[in-house]
Structure formats: structure tokens, C-alpha cells
Amino acid sequence: MKRYGGWTVAIRGGLVLSALLLVSARPAPKKPGPVEIALKAHVETLASDAFDGREPGTEGETKTLRYLARQWFDIGLSAGTNMPGNGWFAPVELVEREPVLSRASFMRGRKRVNLPIDSVFVVTSGLRSLVQDAPLVFVGQATSPVTSRAELAGRVAVMLDSLPEGLARDRAGDRAGRLLDAGALAVVTVLDDERGLEDVIARRRRAGYAVAGERIGNEIEAFLSPATAETLLAGTARPTVARLQADARAADFSPYLLGISGTFEATSRETRIKTHNLIGKLEGRNPSAGAVLMMAHWDHFGECGSAPAEDLICNGAIDNASGLAVMTETARILSRGKPLERDVYFLATTGEELGLLGAMAFAENPPIPLDRFVAAFNVDSTGLVPPGGPIGVVGKGLTPLDPLIADVVKRMKRKLAPGDAPNAYIRRQDSFILMQHDVPAVMVSNSYGDMERTERFMEDTYHRPSDQPGPWIDYAGMADDVNLQVELIRAFADPKRYPARASAPSAKRP
């Protein structure tokens, strides 16, 4: 019995010893390196509650820009606005316009059409807009070809919100804008089941923003439900929405008058917001060879939660404290290395969340002529994936930058993600504005090499109070992006690897 028990104990002891040996044989978790530690510190600072969600024109902006400017100065960057008296900070004035009054009335011949109060929503891009007793012309689904100016002049265009089968809404473009540009006094949209009037009101009653000095105009748009449209059409030659839809689908469709006139009025309240872009510069040995630009937006929404939730602040850790952190640590590494040939500008933009407005202001008033920038690299929403995965390019196939990007990735023993799925984000980030001004601009990141994870973030966390610092941020993946940005900028700052003539505007318009 004793030997049996001793044998049993010995076996158990051996099993325990084997288990201990197996555990000790496993590699210990890798300790974060200095870059990861610095990235984590940046994100936890910039996305802390103390920064109040980094809203432009608030104390949160002051804290954000003070923190970044101090970091960049300590790194060794110089002020990059190239404007005496401004140094690091390029002023940007934004105009906020919030809808106040919405009013519409209609006449069918000489008879007023009685509609329920608030059954039509009218909004203007200006301070006050008024259209009186204008005839309504039905333009179908208002895709292509564009209705002629002769058919629209002095009239209000009525279009269906629905689109031809197979045409996505983001591919249809700004249909109302095209009609207004073609001479329509206003545009009335007859909604369908996809977008209800309540949804449109909730979205369009939010304040709209523009850069001060930008032509805003006084265009009027109105929206009404199918039920309201039925009441309006009763007694006309086309008395139902179904009839309008059938007409719009006809191969030989052409616009026609509805026999209805309308009066529309809308007003807005205007507020001016003084904010700033932050611009730093790492001077190269040959500024005449052009410059490289790296950018990331610093702004977020302030508070975006709603009561009774306890957490109201939108901290914007991934979007975009992560980009600011990557840009800052990229600048640090570049400043410690061998001097580059070309200047490198570092731009932290304001108003990205309000419509890429800081990038617009930069493009209108750059520190050097825009055609001097041979390449621009945006960083937005990184830290979503672990290191080592494929690299995605937002802007792939749309600029002359692709060959050297591919060479850099190959030299790093990495792979580019196949396809162009990341281009779905081309219009949603700052580099799009520069592309519109013929600056070759892209966003290169491992986060966009894994679109499944990126889409999951967009669906679950994007623009919510839950986008805050935590263990879900992969700082090793962010450090991977830092290494990638360093190598990209070194390559494009070298005139031998990327001659200036190769950057001549040849980008395709997205």
C-alpha cells in the first residue's frame, strides 16, 4: 500500500513537474517596447476625459494643441505654418449654421392644398432663403443625364428619393446639388420606405459647418413623405406616387410640370468658431526638391452621448488619438535619424469630423505651394489589428504613389492586402481633400489591411463614447504602423527613389 501510494505520489509529482517545465518552456509575454509605451501614453492622454472630447473651439482644443506642440517642439520639429506671428498654429474660422425655421405651402391651380403641420421639412444652406409661387417640375430619379437648364430655370425640381435598381446611393452622388447647379430654384425630394421624414429631420436639423469665406449659397431643399405627396398630387394628371415612379422608370422619361406651385422658406442661426490646424516641420537638406506631408486630424465631437447615459464624452481614442500618436512617434524617429533630403511637414487638422474642414483650410492656405508636396500620408484610426498582417492602402490605384509604396512594403518583408476594399473610405478622410487639389495623397495602414476588424469597429464603436483607451487597442499594431510610416517617408523624401517629376499630377479623380 505504501509503495502503491508512493508510486502514485511520484507519478503525480512527475506530472506537476512536467507541467511546470512546459510552462517555463513557453516564451514569456513580450514586454512592450519604448515606441509602444510612448504610443499608449499619447492615446491615454489625448483621449482622457480631461480633454473633453477634443471639440474645436473649446478648452479641449487648447489642451490638445498645447500637448502636441510641446511634444513636437521637444522632438526637434520647427514651426511649420511659415506665417510670421502664427508659428505652429494656423488659424481656421468655421461657420456653424443650425436650422431654425421651416415653412412650405402649395397651390394646385388657384386652390391652396391643405397639408398637416410639419409634414414638409424645408432647410437652407444660407441664413434665410425664400422661393415664392414657383411651378413644380418632376425630374424622376434625377440620375443621368442632367436635366437641362431650360427645363429647370425658375422652377422647383421634384425628384424621387429612390434610385434605379443596382445603383448605390453613394454612387449616385449629390443629385440635389446637381439640380440646383443646373438652375432649379429649390429641390423637393419625395421620400420612400428607405428613408422616413423623421430620419431626414433628425439628420438635417443638426448644425452644418463650412470654412469661413467659402461660398455657401442660399439653396433650399425640402422633403416630404409619400403620404404627403399623395395628398399634394390628388386631382392632378399624375395623382399617385406610384404613377410618378412608373413614369421615372420609363426609358423615354422626360421632365414634366405637375400643375402645382410652391412657396418655401427656411432660416438658419449662424455661429463662428475659431479653431486651428497645427503644423510642424522637419527640415531637409534640399528644400528645393519638394516636401512630404504627414497628417492626422486632432478633433473629435466633445460630448456625443445622450442622457440618461452616464458616459457622454466622445473620447476618440482610435478616432483619432491613435493617428496623432503614430504621427508624433514617426516624427520622433525621423528626427533622430540621418537628415532627409526633402522637408517633411506634419499637419494635425481641425474640423475633420465636421466635414474635412481643416484639410480644406490647409489646401486653401498651405505653408508652401501645394504642387511642392510630392506625396501626402494620412493616418486615421489605427491600433485595430496586431502587427505583421497585410497592409491596406486607402487611395490604391488613384495616385502615382503605388509603385514606391509597394517597393517599401516588399523591402519590409510585408505584403499589401489584395483588392481595393479600403477605397470605400476614400471620401471619409482628410487625404481626399488633397487629392481634389492634385496632391498625391493616400492612407497606408495595417488596420485597413484587415477590413473585417475595421468594419467591426465602425459598426460597434466608431463615434461613440465607447471609443476610449483600453486593452482593446493594439499598441504593438500601432508601433507596426509607425515603422511603416517611417519607411514610407524616408523613401518619398529621397529624390533618387522618388524624383519630383514622378509626382506630377496624374491622380485619378475618385
CATH number at residue 53: 3.40.630.10
Q: Is residue 18 part of a domain?
A: no
pLDDT score, position 24: 47
pLDDT score, position 261: 97
Q: Where is average pLDDT lowest: 34-38, 89-93, 232-236, 395-399?
A: 232-236
Q: Where is average pLDDT lowest: 20-34, 110-124, 159-173, 479-493?
A: 20-34
Q: Specify the residue for cell string 429631420.
A: 201
Task: Give residue 22's pLDDT band: very low, low, confident or very high (50, 70, 90).
Answer: very low
Same domain for 254 and 288, yes or no, is no
- Rounded CA-CA distance 468/470 in Å is 6
Task: Give residue 423's pLDDT band: very low, low, confident or very high (50, 70, 90).
Answer: very high
Q: Is residue 156 part of a domain?
A: yes
**Highest-pLDDT range among 77-86, 185-194, 413-422:** 413-422
Same domain for 313 and 265, yes or no, is no
- How large is the average pLDDT for residues 466-482? 97
Task: Give residue 170's pLDDT band: very low, low, confident or very high (50, 70, 90).
Answer: low
Long-range pairs for 361-369: beta carbons < 8 A, 24 or more residues apart: 361/90, 361/92, 361/211, 361/277, 362/90, 362/277, 362/279, 362/433, 363/433, 363/434, 363/436, 363/437, 363/439, 364/211, 365/90, 367/80, 367/81, 367/82, 367/83, 367/90, 367/279, 367/281, 368/82, 368/291
Amino acid (1-letter code) at residue 57: G
Chain segment 341-352, per-residue pLDDT in tens: 999 999 999 999
- How large is the average pLDDT for residues 69-88? 93
Checking if the pLDDT of 168 tops 60, the result is yes
Same domain for 301 and 397, yes or no, is yes
Q: How far, in Å, are 117, 157, 360 from residue 482 at the CA level?
A: 56, 51, 26
Q: Is residue 54 part of a domain?
A: yes
Checking if the pLDDT of 1 tops 50, the result is no
Domain containing 143 — which CATH number? 3.50.30
Q: Is residue 385 part of a domain?
A: yes
pLDDT score, position 508: 60
Checking if the pLDDT of 5 tops 70, the result is no
Checking if the pLDDT of 27 tops 80, the result is no
Checking if the pLDDT of 503 tops 50, the result is no
Same domain for 200 and 310, yes or no, is no
Same domain for 207 and 58, yes or no, is no
Q: The pTM is what?
A: 0.83
Which of the listed residues 270, 285, 313 is the one where a domain comes to its end? Answer: 270
- How large is the average pLDDT for residues 463-485? 96
**Highest-pLDDT range among 16-25, 112-121, 317-326:** 317-326
Tally of CB atoms within 10 A around 406: 15
pLDDT score, position 2: 33
Residue 131, H or E segment: strand 128-138
Which of the listed residues 270, 296, 313 is the one where a domain comes to its end? Answer: 270
pLDDT score, position 30: 75
Q: Is residue 14 part of a domain?
A: no
Q: Tell me which of 235 and 67 has the higher pLDDT.
A: 67
- Rounded CA-CA distance 403/221 in Å is 44
Q: Is residue 19 part of a domain?
A: no
- How large is the average pLDDT for residues 495-500? 94
Same domain for 293 and 219, yes or no, is no
Q: Is residue 344 part of a domain?
A: yes
Same domain for 253 and 283, yes or no, is no
- Rounded CA-CA distance 474/181 in Å is 46
pLDDT score, position 510: 65
Chain segment 278-336, per-residue pLDDT in tens: 999 999 999 899 999 999 999 999 988 666 777 889 999 999 999 999 999 999 999 99
Taking phi over 0 as left and psi of -120 to 50 as alpha, with beta for the rest, 125 belongs to alpha
Same domain for 424 and 345, yes or no, is yes
Please state the separation of Cα 360 from the chain's center in Å. Answer: 12
Checking if the pLDDT of 43 tops 90, the result is yes
Which of the listed residues 270, 305, 337 is the one where a domain comes to its end? Answer: 270
Total number of domains in the chain: 2
Burial category of 451 from C-beta neighbours within 10 Å (exposed 0-12, middle 13-18, buried 19 and up):
middle
The range of the structural domain enclosing residue 450 comes to 34-94+274-503
Chain segment 322-331, per-residue pLDDT in tens: 999 999 999 9
Task: Give residue 383's pLDDT band: very low, low, confident or very high (50, 70, 90).
Answer: very high
Same domain for 155 and 279, yes or no, is no
Cβ neighbours of residue 31 closer than 8 Å, sequence gap 6 or more: none
Same domain for 287 and 361, yes or no, is yes
Chain segment 175-214, per-residue pLDDT in tens: 999 999 999 999 999 998 778 899 999 888 888 889 987 7
Same domain for 243 and 284, yes or no, is no
Same domain for 118 and 249, yes or no, is yes
- How large is the average pLDDT for residues 374-403? 97
- How large is the average pLDDT for residues 407-423? 97
Q: Is residue 12 part of a domain?
A: no
